[in-house]
Structure 1
Amino acid sequence: MGASDQSRTVDERGESAAAVEVDARSTRRIVNGNRLHVVEAGGKANPLVVLLHGFPEFWYGWRNQIGALVEAGCRVLVPDQRGYNRSEKPAAVSAYRRRELSQDVVDLIESDGRDEAYVVGHDWGGLVAWDLALRFPDTVERLAVVNAPHPSAYRRQLLANPEQLRRSWYAVLFQLPWLPERACRYDDYRLLERSLRDQAAPGTFTDDELARYRRAWDRDGALTGMLNWYRAVARYPTTTPTDRVDAPTLVVWGEDDAALVPSLAVDSADYCTDSRLELLSRTSHWVPHEEPTQLTELLLEHLFDG
């Protein structure tokens, strides 16, 4: 645990450091028994921020925030989470249980010589961030979650809100074997492309950016690894010691999220002892891409002025 090897500039297969606009390095770290690809930037003595991406993205989804955080005096680690892009892709669905995903982040923080960090997550990365704050509270100094519901809030909405149940139909489809992989791969990953482009404001995702995503999706085992996150939720329901988050928490929510009802944002904030809720009107699920400057400003205020 904690090993780091083979550092390089982030320029492999089109993953250009210019996209980050700071001096960033591509590294490999052994965490929780798996080799993760991690982009790191910023001085090692600076406050540590860990950025966790969601589905169907990879580290590149945080490119608009990395530079600003580094310029503000942060050290930033952005992993490809297990199953994604250039990180290891365990075959077993059980390897994608929430507690394993959270342990990856604990070990990643330790691999940088730290006991705690500011943790920021979007989509599935936000679900890992919630779990981390509940399961390993001493690891999270401050928490920020973007369009990802607190697990108890999500369960409550699924049971009580038919609209949320309707919006979650795709998660049921993803439980099937091999068919979701075939559907996602069909016509040069058209389904995954549409999940990004069609749900976001026009022009949010450029052709060049989508080409980068296709390269990540096309890596051996990537589609199955990504989908196994959904399969593990159904097969291995998670429990945590508490549902109350004590770390100061920022919840940012694009109100036009096609998959998640806005009331989830309010419910999620209610599970936090110290919370700040920011609802962004006319903004979709893809907040880091649609409102990168506003999100970065909110993160910096929460991390350092809150």
Structure 2
Amino acid sequence: MPQDELTLEQWSSGSLTFDVRVSGPHDGEPVVLLHGFPQNSGEWDAVSRRLNEAGYRTYAPDQRGYSPGARPQGVDAYRMDHLVADVVSLLDSRDLESAHIVGHDWGAAVAWHLTGRHPDRVRTLTALSVPHPHALINALRDDPDQRKKSTYMLFFRRRWVSERALLTFDGRLLRRSFDGSGLSRADVDRYVRPLKERGALTGALNWYRAMSGRESAEAAPVRVPTTYVWSDGDLALGRAAAEACGTFVESDYTYVELTGLSHWLPDQAPERIAEIILARVRG
């Protein structure tokens, strides 16, 4: 099937305006790709090309805090209810009754909640790195390794202090988070540069400040066909949560463990990630 060129589009939800990268055949099945921190929709470029070549139409939004027109003030504006509603509004804006949903890092967290709350809008789910919320909170309670891996989140929740620290010396700490990814400095610049814009990093960090143990505890089991992908070189997510993820999926479930790869899977292994996504959406 012919591949349409990438277009940079927008959609509005209330007073907010979001940016979204759209590509692939107009009649292709829709795949929504949700990015994580500290990245943006560009993390999906190489994966999208492969999905487009296979006949799928992809929608990769810059989410709340990352789109320049969608940076509301206040931590409460970044609670999971709003993050999920943003994806629903994207589907509505494109007259999509449902789509295949793919998420990485924070995008995976949103994808789990979206699928649990709105299973009628999700054809399949592919989650990278971050497991079902229940699997993660159980590991934070019971697994010392996961507690150690998650200590960085305490720093991110400190208002203003973390912004200053992350942006000093040309964003040196932000850049260090990509150590082990194999990304070039130019590739890392694609993610760091937009976060230097006014309000951008605060919006991105507000996801951490707004996260709630109550919301995670209330996350519903997933009842759509699901693939979860974890890499053994992930410095933020441990094995205990990864291996427990399937307990909270009440449908066809595939667990994929990748060896020798870091947390940054769409950038580091786009061909392999595209293969995994295609195996799920075709199934």
Does the pair score TM above 0.5?
Answer: yes
Q: Which residue is 2:118 aligned to?
A: 136
Aligned mates of 2:210, 2:229 — CA distance in 1: 26
- Retained in 1: the 8 A contact 2:97–2:121? yes
Candidates 264, 284, 299, aligned match of 2:241: 264
Q: Number of paired residues?
A: 280
- Retained in 1: the 8 A contact 2:108–2:127? yes
Q: Which residue is 1:3 aligned to?
A: none
Query: Deviation of residue 242 (structure 1)?
Result: 5.5
- Retained in 2: the 8 A contact 1:51–1:77? yes
Aligned mates of 2:19, 2:29 — CA distance in 1: 21
Aligned mates of 2:121, 2:77 — CA distance in 1: 21
- Structure with the bigger RCO (C-alpha within 8 Å, sep 6+) is 2
Q: Which residue is 2:276 aligned to?
A: 298
RMSD: 1.6
Candidates 219, 223, 226, aligned match of 1:246: 223
Candidates 212, 226, 244, aligned match of 2:190: 212
1:60-79 to structure 2, matched below 5 A, reads 60-79=42-61
Whether 1:48 aligns to 2:30 is yes
- Retained in 2: the 8 A contact 1:131–1:240? no
Question: Runs of 4+ in structure 1 displaced over 6 angstroms?
Answer: none
Q: Which residue is 2:135 aligned to?
A: 153
Unaligned runs of 5+ in 2: none
TM-score using structure 1 length: 0.88
Aligned mates of 1:144, 1:210 — CA distance in 2: 24
Whether 1:88 aligns to 2:70 is yes
- Retained in 2: the 8 A contact 1:252–1:280? yes
Q: Which residue is 2:162 aligned to?
A: 180
- Retained in 2: the 8 A contact 1:81–1:87? no
Aligned mates of 1:48, 1:251 — CA distance in 2: 19
Q: The residue matched to 1:186 in structure 2 has which SS?
A: helix
Query: Deviation of residue 153 (structure 1)?
Result: 0.6
Query: Deviation of residue 99 (structure 1)?
Result: 1.3
Cα gap change, 1:55 to 1:163, in 2 (>3 Å): same
Whether 1:104 aligns to 2:82 is no
- Give the counterpart letter for 1:209 in structure 2: D
- Retained in 1: the 8 A contact 2:41–2:61? yes
Aligned mates of 1:261, 1:241 — CA distance in 2: 22
- Retained in 2: the 8 A contact 1:22–1:67? no
Whether 1:226 aligns to 2:204 is yes
- Retained in 1: the 8 A contact 2:117–2:220? no
Q: The residue matched to 1:77 in structure 2 has which SS?
A: strand
1:89-137 residue CA offsets vs partner (Å, 9 max, x unmatched): 1111111111110110011011111111000000000000000011111
Q: The residue matched to 1:238 in structure 2 has which SS?
A: helix
1:215-264 residue CA offsets vs partner (Å, 9 max, x unmatched): 21111110100000000014x74157653111100111111111110222
Unaligned runs of 5+ in 1: 1-20
Q: Which residue is 2:261 aligned to?
A: 283
- Retained in 2: the 8 A contact 1:134–1:240? no
